């Protein structure tokens, strides 16, 4: 059974969101307040999603979006914040190739920091933690982007229903409690997609007790499904402001207290990370917004409706990402021109190519073949 409680000063686990200390002076710049420091110092296991490699490598991979990395010395921030487990299954861990991953793992190992979420390197795809004789398994994966390319032998564990079912059910056979970290969702969208929610329900059915999500750079609500907890967005722990998101500087810390083999207490702490200082907070307005999110998340029809609304409001930006029109057309779109042209390109033929699993797999494999030798 999972209870919602904050009756403890010492938790067994604290899970934090996206951490990306890429600032040149991050060790001096990023601090935590006394309340959060107290919470982390009394927790046995503090877990963060390390959203960039710790490396001096200059070999960027070819990809879309920014290539992120942090100075290897910034591992001192993890130690200062009492972080002793890192999730590496995310979309930036391989931004500097295999060498970036190897450097990161070596640095974490030398600092006695455990990690989970990789394939091909020490096979850290499952992590088992003993909590006073109770076995807790950590499972981790990310939606498939450039970091999950393991053609050279090493990569982040990518979303694959069969593999996650196998991992989760295997973890449940060997552990009393299974906690899954899911790196995915739509950036700045504060709800799970309908597919993401269905997939999380699938993982609960496979044996997960708690599912925690990050990647979207926004906090989200949570639900109980078959008496298990699914939290759909922890937000940022620290991340340079790349987008103007409503909740970019608000995060959630998921606290877990293991009571018995089938009994867990769970609580979400809110924290503020403005001005590079991260501290626990109480904010009635944020609490009310989270309650509204929970209400929508609790019903699949409401989730589908708000997703449809979001997609209808953002369809032009989606089409621009898909077709990459010329500067002239992009300029015209700002003034409402060429919308019919863009809609015409998005015909039912394209819909069928993307929606059909076999067609989509062929497109992906073909594009991988065409782009395999491209350099950044």
Residue 43 pLDDT grade (very low, low, confident, very high; cuts 50, 70, 90): very high
Terminal alpha carbon distance of the chain? 49
| Cα–chain center distance at 360 | 24
357 pLDDT above the threshold of 90: no
Residue of 302, 300, 294, 297 whose CA lies nearest to 4: 294
376 pLDDT above the threshold of 80: no
181 pLDDT above the threshold of 90: yes
* % of the chain residues with pLDDT over 90: 69
Q: Which residue has the tokens 């990647």?
A: 215
Q: Are 209 and 169 in contact (CB under 8 A)?
A: no
Q: Hey, where are the domains in the chain?
A: 2-305, 314-371
Q: Are 53 and 13 in contact (CB under 8 A)?
A: no
Q: What would the pLDDT profile of 14-33 be if each residue is shown by its tens digit?
A: 999 999 999 888 888 899 99
CATH of domain 2-305: 3.60.21.10
312 pLDDT above the threshold of 70: yes
| pTM, two decimal places | 0.91
């Amino acid at each position: 059974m999972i209870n919602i409680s904050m009756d403890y000063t010492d938790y067994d686990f604290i899970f934090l969101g996206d951490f990306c200390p890429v600032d040149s002076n991050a060790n001096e710049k990023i601090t935590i307040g006394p309340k959060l420091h107290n919470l982390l110092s009394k927790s046995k296991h503090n877990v963060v999603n390390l959203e960039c490699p710790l490396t001096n490598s200059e070999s960027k991979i070819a990809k879309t979006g920014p290539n992120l990395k942090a100075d290897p010395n910034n591992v001192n921030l993890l130690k200062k914040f009492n972080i002793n487990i890192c999730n590496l299954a995310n979309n930036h861990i391989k931004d500097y190739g295999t060498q970036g991953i190897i450097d990161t793992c070596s640095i974490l190992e030398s600092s006695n920091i455990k990690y989970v979420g990789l394939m091909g390197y020490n096979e850290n795809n499952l992590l088992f933690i003993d909590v006073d004789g109770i076995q807790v398994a950590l499972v981790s994966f990310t939606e498939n982007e450039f970091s999950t390319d393991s053609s050279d032998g090493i990569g982040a564990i990518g979303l694959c229903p069969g593999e996650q079912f196998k991992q989760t059910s295997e973890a449940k056979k060997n552990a009393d409690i299974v906690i899954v970290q899911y790196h995915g969702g739509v950036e700045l969208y504060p709800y799970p997609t309908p597919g993401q929610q269905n997939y999380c329900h699938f993982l609960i059915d496979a044996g997960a007790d708690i599912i925690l999500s990050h990647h979207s750079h926004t906090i989200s609500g949570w639900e109980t499904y078959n008496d298990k907890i699914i939290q759909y967005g922890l937000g940022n722990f620290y991340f340079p402001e790349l987008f103007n998101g409503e909740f970019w500087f608000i995060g959630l810390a998921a606290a877990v207290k293991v009571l018995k083999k089938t009994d867990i207490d769970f609580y979400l702490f809110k924290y503020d990370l403005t001005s590079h200082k991260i501290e626990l907070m109480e904010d009635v307005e944020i609490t009310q917004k989270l309650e509204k999110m929970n209400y929508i998340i609790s019903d699949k029809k409401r989730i589908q409706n708000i997703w449809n609304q979001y997609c209808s409001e953002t369809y032009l930006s989606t089409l621009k990402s898909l077709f990459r029109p010329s500067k002239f057309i992009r300029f015209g779109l700002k003034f409402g021109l060429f919308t019919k042209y863009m809609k015409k390109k998005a015909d039912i033929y394209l819909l069928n190519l993307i929606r059909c699993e076999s067609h989509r797999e062929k497109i992906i494999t073909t594009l991988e073949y065409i782009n395999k030798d491209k350099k950044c």
